[in-house]
């Protein structure tokens, strides 16, 4: 189904799948067609994942929007994303947190880190930085973060990410095996994570030290 951007935004609101105005506005503003491979522009607003480089995918718009709503983003926040992929999710977050906010998005695959950087630039996003490296260890240099989002499936919440989250902060992460995961939302309260299950989703596996592949 590819009825376009506005149709999808209306659908989310009428079905109450996603109601956070900030998420809806960012979705309407950021051109997803700048983040897909050339030849796929026409599919940019189909509610499906699309291929990018290195056998990875840009997540389905509805999945992205549900995760961003769960993140409870506010202007001025510092956010860490693991799994830059196309850079699209980082662009949405950067748009929501605004110029006082900052996004660090980590990418394991060099080709994709370059792809994300190029796409963000083309979309005119200048408060998101792509970091090439293993995000399962987090990005200590800029910690702690108000919010952390992981867009690849992990076997559990990596310890390093829990550590790098501020008190009161929220992490949203798919947890499970290679075939099926539950998106978990966790808030850090008195140093401990209080988790909530947002339901079943399918993601590509997290690579690296704490990933599913090694
Ligand atoms: N958020 C992306 C889609 C993510 S797909 C977007 O908006 O397009 C998941 C991405 O996570 C892939 O690009 C994959 O290479 C990356 N990835 C997997 N394991 C990783 C790790 N340990 N550190 C950083 N990136 C990782």
Q: What is the mean pLDDT of residues 42-57?
A: 94
Residues 135, 109: contact at Cβ < 8 Å? no
Model confidence band, residue 213 (pLDDT cutoffs 50, 70, 90)? low
13-18 average pLDDT score: 96
For residues 157-161, give the mean pLDDT: 96
59 assigned to active site: yes
Q: Which atom of ligand 1 is nearest to the CA of 35?
A: 8
Provide CB contacts within 8 A for 52, sequence distance 6+: 36, 37, 58, 85, 86, 112, 115
pLDDT greater than 80 at residue 34:
yes
Task: Say which residues have a Cβ less than 8 Å from residue 199's Cβ, sequence separation at least 6.
Answer: 182, 183
DSSP state of 60: P
Average pLDDT (21-50) is 96
Average pLDDT over residues 187-206: 95
Its pTM stands at: 0.97
User: Cα of 14 to ligand 1 centre, how many Å?
Assistant: 31
Which SS3 state, helix, strand or coil, does residue 33 take? helix
Q: Output the average pLDDT for the chain.
A: 95
pLDDT of 136: 95
d(CA 181, CA 33): 27
Question: Among 14, 59, 86, 136, which one carries the catalytic annotation?
Answer: 59
Work out the average pLDDT over 90-115: 98
Ligand 1 nearest atom to the CA of residue 208, by list position: 22
CA dihedral 162, 165, 166, 170 (to 10 degrees): -90
What's the 65 CA to ligand 1 centre distance in angstroms?
A: 17
Is residue 193 within 8 A of residue 162, CB to CB? The reply is yes
Q: Cis bond leading into 120, ω under 30°? A: no
What is the per-residue pLDDT across 166-194, written as a single tens digit (0 to 9) for each?
Answer: 999 999 999 998 888 999 999 999 999 99
């Amino acid at each position: 189904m590819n009825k376009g951007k506005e149709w999808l935004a209306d659908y989310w609101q009428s079905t109450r799948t996603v109601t956070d105005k900030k998420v809806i506005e960012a979705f309407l503003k950021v051109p997803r067609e700048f983040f897909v491979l050339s030849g796929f522009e026409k599919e940019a607003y189909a509610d499906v994942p699309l291929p990018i480089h290195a056998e990875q995918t840009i997540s389905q718009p509805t999945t992205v929007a549900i995760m961003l709503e769960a993140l409870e983003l506010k202007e001025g926040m510092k956010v860490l994303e693991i799994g830059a992929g196309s850079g699209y999710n980082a662009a949405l977050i950067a748009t929501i947190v605004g110029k006082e906010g900052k996004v660090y998005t980590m990418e394991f695959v060099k080709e994709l880190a370059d792809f994300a950087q190029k796409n963000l630039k083309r979309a005119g996003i200048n408060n998101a930085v792509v970091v090439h490296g293993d995000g399962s260890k987090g990005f200590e240099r800029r910690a702690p973060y108000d919010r952390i989002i992981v867009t690849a499936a992990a076997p559990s919440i990596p310890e390093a990410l829990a550590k790098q989250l501020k008190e009161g902060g929220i992490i949203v992460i798919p947890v499970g095996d290679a075939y099926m995961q539950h998106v978990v939302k966790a808030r850090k309260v008195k140093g401990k994570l209080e988790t909530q299950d947002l339901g079943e989703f399918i993601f590509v596996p997290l690579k690296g030290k704490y990933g599913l592949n090694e």
